[in-house]
Amino acid sequence: MGEYHQKIDEKGRVTIPAKIRYELGESFVITRGLDGCLFIYPKTVWEKIVTKYQQLPNVKDARNFMRFFLSGAMTLDFDKQGRINIASPLIKYANLQKDCVVIGVGERLEIWSLDNWNNFINENEDSLSEIADNLFTQI
């Protein structure tokens, strides 16, 4: 959980807050996410996701999504300063520049460029109450 405003340096390094590092473990997976951000999963969660994807039917939509999602995936670990080093194709995909936002979303982290995050909030803020009503009245 949480929202953390961080900086990404010229080498693609981002510090992950200590309380999140503990929950991720020593080694984890980063990949292209949806909506223009990056997803980070603990290895145990990642393995479950891959197992589910392997059970999808061999149809065009499943193949295309797997190509998108799995081709960008890589295993990372933290350096001594608690930073991760994001590969340039992922930086480009998420439009990461100097300011970025790390958010906790259930079993994953998301990394957003500050501009994309602010746009997401501004575009969705008015409809979130209605979305919540629709989602949670079905429970």
pLDDT of 12: 94
- pLDDT of 15 > 60? The answer is yes
23-32, 101-110, 130-139: segment of lowest average pLDDT: 130-139
Q: Is the pLDDT of residue 3 over 90?
A: yes
For residues 6-19, average pLDDT: 92
pLDDT at site 139: 56
Q: Across residues 63-89, what is the average pLDDT?
A: 92
| Per-residue model confidence (pLDDT) at position 138 | 59
Strands (E) located in the chain? 3-7, 13-15, 27-32, 38-42, 74-77, 83-85, 99-105, 108-113
State how far the Cα of 139 lies from the Cα of 73, in Å rounded to an integer: 33
What is the pTM (predicted TM-score) of this model?
A: 0.88
**How far is residue 105's CA from residue 33's CA, in Å, rounded to a whole number?**
12
Nearest to 28 by CA among 63, 72, 78, 66: 78
Task: Give the torsion sign (CA, 19, 21, 25, 29).
Answer: positive
Q: What is the CATH number of domain 3-114?
A: 3.40.1550.20
Question: Which token pair is 138?
Answer: 């079905």
- Alpha carbons 27 and 35: distance in angstroms, whole number: 25
3-state SS class at 137: coil
